[in-house]
Amino acid sequence: MSVRERSPRHRPWSVYRANTFDLSSEMLGLTLAGNSQDPDEPVLEFSVACSELITPALDRKPNSFVAVSVTTPPQAFWTKHAQTEIIEGTSNPIFLSSIAFFQDSLINQQTQVKLSVYDVKDRSQGTMYLLGSAMFPVKELLQEKQHRLHLMLRSAENERVGNITIIAWQMEEKRDQRAPVPRLPDTINGRMVLPVDESLTESLGIRAKYASLCKDTLLKSVFGGTMSRMYRFPTTDGNHLRILEQMAESVLSLNIPRQFVKLLLEEDAARVCELEELGELSPCWESLRRQIVTQYQTIILTYQETLTDLHQYKGPSFKASNLKAEKKLEFMPTNLHIQRMRVQDESGSDHTYDIVTIGAPAAHCQGFKNSGLRKLIHKFEEAKKHSAVSSSQSIVYIPQDIVRAKEIIAHINTLKTQVSYYAERLSRAAKDRSANGLERTLAILADKTRQLVTVCDCKLLANAIQALNAARPEYIASKASPTAGDVDQVMLRNDQDTLVAKWTGKNSRSSLHVNWHEEEWEKVWLNVDKSLECIIQRVDKLLQKDRLQSDSCEDVFQCDLSSSSKKGNLESRAYWINPGCMEETNSSSSSPSPSSSPALSACHSPCDTREWSEALYPLLTTLTECVAMMSDKAKKSMVFLLMQDTAPTIAMDLSLQYRRDVVFCQTLTALICGFIIKLRNCLRDDGFLRQLYTIGLLAQFESLLSTYGEELAMLEDMSVGILDLRNVTFKVTQATSSSSMDMLPVITGNRDGFNVRIPLPGTMFDALPREIQNGMLLRVQPVLFNVGINEQQTLAEKFGDTSLQEIINMESLARLNSYYEQFKEVLPEDCLPRSRSQTCLPELLRFLGQNVHVRKNKNVDILWQAAEICRRLNGVRFTSCKSAKDRTAMSVTLEQCLILQHEHGMAPQVFTQALDCMRSEGCRRENTMKNVGCRKYAFNTLQLKAFPKHYRPPEGTYGKVET
């Protein structure tokens, strides 16, 4: 009897058990190899179904699964290839997981396939026995007209124990027109090559959007070790969904920490150099500097050892969960993988869903006895306030001053480099006598120079310069102001073990802006401004003469001092400080003489008989020297300011910073993986790309950590690491070559802000909008939602404290709402992906808000709604638990099945079976093997009683294992 004859074809869906739905004849066919448009297409895919299974105990129906083994002559042994999920309590099981042979399977027509059906007596203990088996050659399946085989299952005693049906699938076959297989497949070099069916290339436009983890030029440079599983799930309309589930690790797990630690090492080494370059300080300040430098040298040594360990590491490109506390690998993220689900249906639609899974970014090696980053940062801030109150320093800088000081240093470093660069370009343009080049470059040089002058013209900088002067050994104890009627004094006592800098006099500190200290500093940046004006006038004259094409030497270039200053009349305020000897010229005269002011005397020299470069060279030299002098003085004063601020709490500061670095590095690595795969998937999605460069990328982290014990401290670490991602920007560039190394991202910057450069192959880069091609910095908006689901969360809810989870969720809700408000203000709704959901985004956000504010134990609706909102807003999804192995597996498989049901019409009758199928035979089960060498989730029965129902794995897939 055939399967068709045994199956009650005309009963409605509602009367079928989830594990005994019927196979429709429209779902038959054969997958064909050689499809260059779809590199993930398997060479051969088939499904299996059993019927009339007989067990020795007639009163018991079997719990069966099928194990598939293969052998290809001349190989003389069987190799296990795959197995189906277990279906309980039926003699006629139809399995959802299909058997796929991909292009690296090395099968051919002579390959023998053995199907062994097992009856599982006790899933929790793994007790089973072989019910029966059947064999067939691949050639027989291909030659069969409908690519369907009906085989008899025979026991070890050669007794009939049932039947098994094998059905080969064809991808994207039209329901009303099945293309026949015209001839037997050919074989080249022993490999089976099947003819390409035209129906497979019809949706080329859709397929072009799909990027294979294994074959795509960009993705294969970043991801590797890809595992694949395939399923066939029925839909509510009687068709089927073809599911490709994949899991891949990333070389970035090691590459990013190497780059990141190197940057930290360079940043801290530069900090030490800056402190050393402050010059000679009085004894008390010198002692303080030595203490700070010693602390930095200790942390630098730690970074050097870490960098050496990372370069010497030769293991797999992911850190297993049982190594999360390994000191040498603490900057590497734990168990970082990309989890992908690709969904195709008979209408030709093709959708890909990616989730980055990562063990909670936390400083496992440093432990959690003293709590996590949130509390540690709070303690540090309190200690800093206390030290400021008890400090003997009369100058106490507020936090805004410290932030501003760091910004000034960064701006000075950047602008000084840019001024030097454009001064050199201006010199080259003059040498080439390029009028256009001269004009364009001068405009940029003037803009950068004026930006630098603006940065240096601030009260904070002037005060810091005065404080640094007061810390010099040769500082005169008191000095009168040349402009003040009353006498002000600045006194520094360094003969005692104290650091006191006091301003005395009637005008006190508020008079600094008019005393001689600020005027001395003003001379420096005014000369930069004056030097620039001379260059502008000289270039204007050169260009004017060039346009007139005059050979006359009658014109003599003069500097108009009356218009060279941005601060009124400079005739009475023009200064020049010689870079060589730092001597001040006489500033009281109405007009400086050429002999006393190089910046001005250069303006008076004739240029009509000289080349352009000779005319501009002395002026450009003067400008760069003035800029160097101003930048050096300003930077040193800011370094001294920061030294004063960090001195009292330097040990605590660096210890906290190290922990923060460890956590941030793990988080950053995951973010970069998510950004790359999202960008590649949406390379031709104009709406997403516009959203990306307009309001940035939404990065939504889901956490399943409890708020009890060590996991509470892990959550504190993780929340800070995710918030720090706001200081990350991305820039997309064109790769210099197609080699894998040139496709890897490059990190630049420092702790105040990191930029990640993402190289793309030329063809991909050309597909980007002009804004991204031109180097626009792309921002990130990170949000974190946490709901603990295990037995420890039960303890937290009954006896502990869940306030941290509530605060994190409310903070993230506010940022998520803000992101959506930004979207509505500047972007149209058609930038977002389409959804079958009847709930609009504002409603979803309202529901999420209600769930976040309501006090409900283990309210996993928060996670489901946040994940859906993220997908609907073109965001990147991240899922974490302690090790990204067990609870994470439950979460991502549940999310995949929810997507299939809500977005792709998977029949609700098979939801539970599909969920169990993915958890028992899917990629996440293999993730447990990769991490701890055992294909079991680390749960026990007692634990699972505390889990929400949908987060419990099927029997036989869990047990006591090392985590």
Residues 6+ apart with CB under 8 A from 199: 172, 173, 174, 177, 179
Residue 572 backbone dihedrals phi, psi, to 5 degrees: -100, 0
Cα separation, 744 vs 478, in Å, equals: 59
> What are the beta bridge partners of residue 166?
48, 149
CA distances from 658 to 344, 375, 413, 486, 662 (A): 46, 15, 24, 50, 6
H helix or E strand, kind and range, residue 242 = strand 240-250
Cα four-point dihedral sign 83, 86, 90, 96 = negative
Neighbours of 729 (CB within 10 A): 17
Q: Closest Cα to residue 876, out of 362, 361, 353, 360?
A: 353
Cα separation, 7 vs 649, in Å, equals: 77
H helix or E strand, kind and range, residue 8 = none
Our answer to whether residue 682 is catalytic in this structure is no
Q: Extract the tokens encoding 816.
A: 């998520």
- Give 763-831 as a 3 state SS string: HHHHCCCHHHHCCCCECEEEEEEECCCCHHHHHHHHHCCCHHHHHHHHHHHHHHHHHHHHHHHHCCHHH
- Residue type at position 330: E
Q: Closest Cα to residue 407, out of 462, 466, 460?
A: 460
Cα separation, 66 vs 82, in Å, equals: 9
Q: Single out the catalytic residue among 50, 534, 626, 881.
A: 881
DSSP three-state, residue 264 = helix
Cα separation, 315 vs 323, in Å, equals: 12
Q: Give me the helices (H) in 200-282, please.
A: 204-207, 219-222, 252-276
Q: Closest Cα to residue 238, out of 397, 450, 444, 16?
A: 16
Q: Extract the tokens encoding 615.
A: 């005319």
CA distances from 618 to 378, 415, 440, 600, 709 (A): 54, 21, 20, 11, 68
- Residue type at position 228: S
The CA-based dihedral angle spanning residues 71, 73, 74, 77, taken in that order and rounded to the nearest 10 degrees: 20
* Residue listed under structure tokens 């969360």: 793
Q: Are 555 and 565 in contact (CB under 8 A)?
A: no
How many C-alpha atoms does 94 have within 13 Å on its Cβ side?
A: 16
DSSP three-state, residue 127 = strand
Q: Are 323 and 329 in contact (CB under 8 A)?
A: yes
Q: Are 45 and 205 in contact (CB under 8 A)?
A: no
> What are the beta bridge partners of residue 241?
233, 345
- Give 635-687 as a 3 state SS string: HHHHHHHHHHHHHHHHHHHHHHHHHHHHHHHHHHHHHHHHHHHHHHHCCCCHH
Q: Closest Cα to residue 299, out of 752, 659, 717?
A: 659
DSSP three-state, residue 38 = coil
Cα separation, 846 vs 820, in Å, equals: 12
Q: Extract the tokens encoding 334.
A: 């734990």
Question: Which residues are annotated as catalytic?
Answer: 881
